[in-house]
């Protein structure tokens, strides 16, 4: 039980206000791990007001179409050519400029705005695949990130199917990135959903693998195609022995399970050399390129045929 407490007449004498304050205190108690009680403080009200403001700002931005996608190239380590991109959401804020997803995605997720925002982003990504095709890049895959909340939303499967049909994109060019913590959800529901997505022909990537706990049994039983090693392990290669060992073990495990391995967050040639020697097939990171806007991406894709990505 989580309990929020507000005091009469100290905090207020108005019933509606008191109820709101008690509610805020209860949410604070829940945030602190549940099973405790919290007294209302004015700071809670300020925090709630700020959150409300941000939430309104996000909703307005969504209406005004202020979200765009940037794309980080993903490279095949054998051919050193770009085989796909991962889409990252950016907010073109009227005052703050370009705001990266980390700064607003949690709020969008908590408030449920992620459902509409996610649909818009997914649609934009599908349209981009076709624009790339027209520019002569016909086999590039597009990876899009989804949160647990989006994926467990009852309309998720329908959303994916509908946007693919409406945009006319080839399903096999689309890669859905699923957070590893999704494997903690109800196994039956999850299996049914992933099988249905797999039937649509999209590729399923398990993202951030190695961060937090994740059932290996589920990993084996679900129709996944790719796992992405969490950048936390890549960062410490090759100087931190245990991170390097974990990365090697994950690559070996993935091979046993017939999964392709992508290493993300690759920033140095030493990391790249290690990953290649460990048999990792694909990677992405600032060593190759930062996430790029649509035009910069096309430029990057053209240049890869003029000179090697890593010389
Ligand atoms: Mg990702």
Residue 276's pLDDT band (cuts 50, 70, 90): very high
Span from the CA of 200 to the centroid of ligand 1 (angstroms)? 21
For all residues of the chain together, what is the average pLDDT?
A: 93
Q: How much is the pLDDT for 213?
A: 76
Mean pLDDT confidence for 46-55:
89
Mean pLDDT confidence for 71-98:
95
Q: How much is the pLDDT for 306?
A: 85
pLDDT(139) > 80: yes
Distances (CA, A) of 229 to 77, 102, 179, 207, 208: 15, 19, 11, 7, 6
Span from the CA of 205 to the centroid of ligand 1 (angstroms)? 9
Angle, in degrees to the nearest 10, between helices 114-134 and 156-167: 30
For 170, list phi and psi in degrees, rounded to 5.
-75, 125
Span from the CA of 145 to the centroid of ligand 1 (angstroms)? 5
Residue 215's pLDDT band (cuts 50, 70, 90): confident
Span from the CA of 79 to the centroid of ligand 1 (angstroms)? 22
Span from the CA of 86 to the centroid of ligand 1 (angstroms)? 7
Span from the CA of 71 to the centroid of ligand 1 (angstroms)? 11
Residue 166: count other Cβ atoms within 10 Å of its Cβ.
11
Residue 184's pLDDT band (cuts 50, 70, 90): confident
Span from the CA of 124 to the centroid of ligand 1 (angstroms)? 17
Span from the CA of 181 to the centroid of ligand 1 (angstroms)? 13
Mean pLDDT confidence for 6-27:
94
Q: How much is the pLDDT for 220?
A: 85
Span from the CA of 207 to the centroid of ligand 1 (angstroms)? 6
Q: What are the structure tokens assigned to 140, written together?
A: 């590039």
Span from the CA of 203 to the centroid of ligand 1 (angstroms)? 13
Span from the CA of 9 to the centroid of ligand 1 (angstroms)? 50
Q: How much is the pLDDT for 286?
A: 94
Give residue 105's region: left, alpha or beta (phi > 0; psi -120 to 50).
alpha
pLDDT(103) > 90: yes
pLDDT(102) > 80: yes
Whole-structure pTM over 0.75, yes or no? yes
Span from the CA of 70 to the centroid of ligand 1 (angstroms)? 13
Q: What are the structure tokens assigned to 59, written together?
A: 């909703």
Task: Give me the helices (H) in the chain, please.
Answer: 15-31, 42-63, 105-111, 114-134, 148-152, 156-167, 187-200, 216-221, 231-235, 241-256, 269-277, 294-303
pLDDT (tens digit per residue) in 107-130: 999 889 999 999 999 999 999 999
Residue 32's pLDDT band (cuts 50, 70, 90): confident
Of residues 112, 114, 88, the one with CA closest to residue 101: 88
Span from the CA of 201 to the centroid of ligand 1 (angstroms)? 19
Span from the CA of 206 to the centroid of ligand 1 (angstroms)? 9
CA 308-275-227 angle, 5° bins: 105
Q: What are the structure tokens assigned to 170, written together?
A: 């080839």
pLDDT (tens digit per residue) in 224-272: 999 999 888 899 888 888 888 988 998 999 999 999 999 999 999 999 9
Span from the CA of 23 to the centroid of ligand 1 (angstroms)? 35
Q: How much is the pLDDT for 224?
A: 94
pLDDT(15) > 90: yes
pLDDT > 70: what percent of the chain? 100
Q: Is 83 helix (H, G, I), strand (E, B) or coil?
A: strand
Span from the CA of 108 to the centroid of ligand 1 (angstroms)? 17
Q: How much is the pLDDT for 66?
A: 96
Span from the CA of 88 to the centroid of ligand 1 (angstroms)? 8
Span from the CA of 143 to the centroid of ligand 1 (angstroms)? 8
Q: How much is the pLDDT for 21?
A: 94
pLDDT(178) > 80: yes
pLDDT(214) > 80: no
Distance of CA 91 to the CA centre of its chain: 15
Residue 57's pLDDT band (cuts 50, 70, 90): very high
Q: What are the structure tokens assigned to 271, written together?
A: 């990391």
């Amino acid at each position: 039980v989580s309990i929020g407490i507000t005091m009469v007449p100290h905090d207020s004498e108005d019933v509606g206000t008191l109820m709101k304050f008690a509610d805020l205190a209860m949410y604070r108690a829940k945030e602190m791990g549940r099973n405790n009680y919290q007294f209302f403080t004015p700071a809670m009200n300020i925090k709630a007001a700020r959150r409300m403001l941000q939430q309104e700002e996000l909703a307005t931005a969504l209406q005004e179409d202020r979200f765009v996608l940037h794309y980080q190239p993903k490279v095949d380590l054998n051919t050193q050519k770009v085989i796909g991109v991962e889409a990252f959401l950016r907010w073109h804020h009227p005052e703050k400029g370009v705001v990266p997803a980390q700064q607003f995605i949690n709020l969008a997720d908590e408030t449920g705005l992620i459902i509409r925002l996610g649909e818009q982003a997914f649609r934009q990504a599908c349209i981009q695949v076709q624009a790339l095709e027209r520019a002569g890049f016909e086999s590039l895959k597009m990876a899009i990130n989804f949160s647990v909340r989006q994926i467990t939303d009852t309309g998720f499967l329908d959303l994916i199917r509908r946007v693919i049909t409406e945009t006319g994109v080839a399903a096999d060019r689309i890669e859905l990135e699923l957070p590893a913590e999704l494997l903690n959800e109800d196994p039956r529901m999850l299996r049914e959903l992933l099988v249905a997505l797999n039937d649509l022909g999209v590729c399923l990537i398990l993202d951030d693998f190695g961060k937090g706990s994740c059932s290996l049994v589920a990993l084996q039983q679900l129709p996944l195609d790719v796992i992405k090693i969490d950048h936390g392990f890549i960062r410490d290669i090759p100087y931190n022995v245990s991170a390097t060992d974990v990365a090697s073990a994950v690559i070996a495990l993935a091979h046993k399970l017939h999964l392709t391995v992508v290493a993300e967050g690759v920033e140095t040639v030493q990391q790249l050399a290690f990953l290649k020697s460990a048999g990792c097939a694909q990677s992405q990171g600032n060593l190759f390129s930062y996430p790029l806007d649509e035009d910069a991406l096309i430029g990057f894709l053209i240049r890869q045929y003029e000179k090697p990505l890593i010389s």
